[in-house]
Amino acid sequence: MILIMIYNFFGETKGKTSTALGTVMRALGGEKRVRIIFFMKHWTTGETEFLKKLNNVSFDVEFFQSGDKDFIWVDGVNGETLKEAQDELEWGKIVEADISDTEQAKRGMYKAWEYLEEKPFLLVLDELNYAVSFGLIEIEKAKELLRAAKLQGTHVVITGKALHPELAEMSDLITEMKKHKHPFDEGIHAIKGLDY
């Protein structure tokens, strides 16, 4: 019997998406089909540029980004640091989720279901934890997708800061990223090639 796994990388600091993408590299190295949804991330990053190039070199990988410039609430961001972040990454914050955020999350879920029809080996749901915790995606809808993935034999990686108890219950592996020290605390912002 083949075990189908749901991995969940969550926590307050850097490393969740990077860890998920390390899993993507392993799957692609094993010549597996991989599909990725980036919830709440619309901007161009080093990883999205790399993934575009990979798909042109015979790897079976596709990704979809859902999100807009009015990203989501980010703790500890003030007017000055927000402006710098918007200039560099083109993301911002809102105090509460609005209809645009909800619509973007729905687009991401719709695409996830489309990708599932392709029967990938691995489906990455980057920032799904965030989207659920902010109420952009109903927990029952997320659980339905995860159940369907397991039934058809697709492994899933989930990322995002918060971890919903029901997603925790469904996960086979949970790794928490815990901050001990971070450059942001010293006023050092994201570095292209390292952080995005």
CATH of the domain at 133: 3.40.50.300
What average pLDDT does range 83-106 have in this prediction? 61
Q: Does residue 67 lie within any of the structural domains?
A: yes
Q: Does residue 156 lie within any of the structural domains?
A: yes
Q: 188 or 168: which carries more pLDDT confidence?
A: 168
What is the three-class DSSP state of 69?
Answer: coil
**Percent of the chain topping pLDDT 70:** 76
Q: Does residue 195 lie within any of the structural domains?
A: no
How many distinct structural domains can be found in the chain? 1
Q: In terms of residue numbers, what domain contains 88? A: 6-186
Question: Is pLDDT above 90 for 77?
Answer: no
Q: Does residue 193 lie within any of the structural domains?
A: no
Q: Does residue 135 lie within any of the structural domains?
A: yes
Q: Does residue 26 lie within any of the structural domains?
A: yes
pLDDT tens profile 1-13: 568 999 999 998 7
What pLDDT does 125 receive? 98
Average pLDDT over all residues of the chain: 82
**Percent of the chain topping pLDDT 90:** 48
DSSP at 66: E
Question: Is pLDDT above 50 for 128?
Answer: yes
Q: Residue 175's closest CA among 28, 26, 12?
A: 12
What pLDDT does 94 receive? 47
Residues 189, 11: Cα–Cα separation, whole Å: 19
Question: Is pLDDT above 80 for 82?
Answer: no
pLDDT band at 89 (very low <50, low <70, confident <90, very high): very low
Q: Which of 53-57, 127-131, 162-166 has the lowest mean pLDDT?
A: 53-57
For the chain, the C-alpha Rg in angstroms (whole number) is 16
Q: Does residue 1 lie within any of the structural domains?
A: no
What pLDDT does 50 receive? 82
Q: Are 12 and 42 in contact (CB under 8 A)?
A: no
Q: Does residue 175 lie within any of the structural domains?
A: yes
